[in-house]
Amino acid sequence: MPDPSDSAAPAARGHHATADAAPASLANSPAGYPETIPDVRAADGPGRWLSVVGLGEDGLDGLSPAARAAIEAAELVFGGSRHLALAAAAIRGAAHPWPTPFDVAAVTAARGRRVAVLASGDPFFHGVGSVIARTIPPTEMQVFPAPSAIALAAARLGWAEQDATALSVHGRPLDLVRPHLQPGRRLIVLTSDRDGPAALAGLMTETGFGPSRLIFLEALGGPHERVRAATAEDFAFTDVADLNVVAIEVAAAAGARIIARAPGLPDDLFEHDGQITKREVRAIALAALGPRRGERLWDIGAGSGSIGLEWMLADPSLTAIAVEPRADRAARIARNASAFGVPGLTIVRGEAPAALDGLAAPDAVFIGGGASRPGVLDAAIAALKVGGRLVVNAVTIETETILADRHARLGGDLVRIDIARAETIGGFRGWTPARPVVQWRWEKP
């Protein structure tokens, strides 16, 4: 469970997943770790000078002899105040609480000395380990993970860990939970503090998931461990421990806001003023954009933000930048991002192409409005990475002419999308056509 006393980067921590260190010098013994730690310095480099040690609520009692030896041998020990207190009996060197705001610069500056970093549980599961690894290679560290809060919670509940979805809202927006609220699903959520379970119950009740069962597990692995349960709509506990994790068995009431996993969400799920890429066309556009892990999208003329939002819903590694000139629509995009659980959507208020200057290069670009403005297409094509995909929609003859010209010169696919819906006409039903959309799809060679 996350520890509020840990100042380790909130976006990189979770319960039993804060800064933990174990002396790197314990690393390469095929027969097991030695009882004493050899000199970590090497003629060709600093050697394994950093130990990252995961601590549970049982403190030193839960450590292996090698992990404890790593702490005892360290000249400098970094950690949250709770971790430093848990390991106090083994600390021989200088103890350094994490600074606020969190920064690992002091650890990096000690390269070559014996250093230990203390963390919650598994340092590389929403933990400080991944933050440290951005600047310190694994060849210079030795890691001693403890069980994560996810593992402990699954063990207490008898849940198959691989079948549950693990999430962290420790230092992150609670809205991140929203896309995962699917009936029948099991979630294990790392919260920020004692208010986390009640806030989570409130969000679930508001969105129609009040019947869901919440099992909140406090101080897992320690002498004050406690496990209690309630439905989201009946949650009334006020004596929750700061260190907690919430397991959820998701159940939906009638009318619950369920965010489907396939592209082409219903238009009425989005807040919009009519400026929205319609459901069927949106699904076709997203298929053409072809999101791949870790990619970035530019959504130019974003309107309601629907394309960028569905792009990000496809995978948590995806990012998007919504470019929208109107202030009211930019605000609406932000509200939609919150409602869909993708608060990380970047919103740039401005008119393309000028608003595109300085933005991180895209792997894919969607232009749903403004393609006829001078310079917009050229700027998008210039910025697009090699192998990147460009998808442009046109609903006017003028923009359609531009796309036909680009298709003739650059190739790609030019398609016309016609959608009609059955509607009542007098005592009968007939087809009412929507405005046709011409779509140009192109991949940058």
What is the spatial distance between Cα 143 and Cα 23, in angstroms, rounded to a whole number? 7
Q: Which residues contact 212 (CB under 8 A, 6 or more apart)?
A: 181, 204, 231, 232, 248, 249, 250, 251, 252
pLDDT surpasses 50 at 366: yes
Percent of the chain surpassing pLDDT 90 = 87
pLDDT of residue 100: 81
| Domain spans in the chain, listed from the N-terminal domain onward | 50-147, 150-250, 267-444
pLDDT of residue 102: 85
Which one of 22-26, 40-44, 247-251, 423-427 scores highest in mean pLDDT?
A: 247-251
Percent of the chain surpassing pLDDT 70 = 90
Confidence label for 24 from pLDDT (cuts 50, 70 and 90): very low
pLDDT surpasses 50 at 38: no
Domain 267-444 in the same topology as domain 150-250:
no
CB burial of 166-190 (b: ≥16 within 10 Å; e: otherwise) equals bbbbbbbebbbbbbbbbeeebbbbb
Q: Which residues contact 180 (CB under 8 A, 6 or more apart)?
A: 165, 167, 187, 250, 341
Q: What is the mean pLDDT of residues 422-431?
A: 95
pLDDT surpasses 60 at 33: no
Radius of gyration over alpha carbons of the chain, in Å? Answer: 26
pTM of the model: 0.84
Which one of 1-10, 11-20, 342-351 scores highest in mean pLDDT?
A: 342-351
Alpha-helical (H) ranges within 267-326 are 279-289, 306-313
pLDDT of residue 44: 52
pLDDT surpasses 60 at 25: no
What is the spatial distance between Cα 437 and Cα 280, in angstroms, rounded to a whole number? 11
pLDDT surpasses 70 at 377: yes
> How many Cα atoms occupy the beta-carbon half-sphere of 20 within 13 Å?
32
- Measuring CA to CA, which residue among 105, 117, 106, 121 is closest to residue 141? 117
Confidence label for 101 from pLDDT (cuts 50, 70 and 90): confident
- What rounded mean pLDDT belongs to the chain? 91
**Residue 168: enclosing H or E segment and its boundaries?**
strand 165-168
Domain 267-444 has CATH 3.40.50.150: yes
Confidence label for 418 from pLDDT (cuts 50, 70 and 90): very high
Tokens of 82: 């709770």
Confidence label for 45 from pLDDT (cuts 50, 70 and 90): low
Confidence label for 27 from pLDDT (cuts 50, 70 and 90): very low
What type of residue is 207? T
pLDDT surpasses 90 at 7: no
Taken as a whole, the chain contains a residue count of: 445
Cα of 67 vs its chain's centroid, Å = 30
Could you tell me the strand order of the sheet in which 50-55 lies? 94-97, 76-79, 115-120, 50-55, 141-144
Q: For residue 250, give Cα distances in angstroms to 150, 204, 315.
A: 17, 9, 20
Q: What is the mean pLDDT of residues 438-443?
A: 99
Domain 50-147 has CATH 3.40.640.10: no
DSSP 8-state symbol, 17: B
CB burial of 113-143 (b: ≥16 within 10 Å; e: otherwise) equals ebbbbbbbbbbbbbbbbebbbeebeeebbbb
pLDDT of residue 225: 96
Confidence label for 15 from pLDDT (cuts 50, 70 and 90): very low
Span 150-250 CATH architecture: 2-Layer Sandwich (3.30)
Bridge partners (DSSP) of residue 215 are 229, 247
Confidence label for 406 from pLDDT (cuts 50, 70 and 90): very high
Alpha-carbon torsion, ordered 186, 231, 170, 245, to 10 deg: -70
pLDDT in tens, 228-271: 999 999 999 999 999 999 999 999 999 999 999 999 999 999 99
What is the spatial distance between Cα 301 and Cα 380, in angstroms, rounded to a whole number? 12
pLDDT of residue 94: 98
**Using alpha carbons only, what angle is made at residue 251 by residues 245 and 257, rounded to the nearest 5 degrees?**
100
Return the minimum-mean-pLDDT range out of 54-58, 99-103, 202-206, 266-270: 99-103
Confidence label for 42 from pLDDT (cuts 50, 70 and 90): very low
Alpha-carbon torsion, ordered 116, 122, 127, 133, to 10 deg: 60
- Measuring CA to CA, which residue among 328, 321, 375 is closest to residue 352? 375
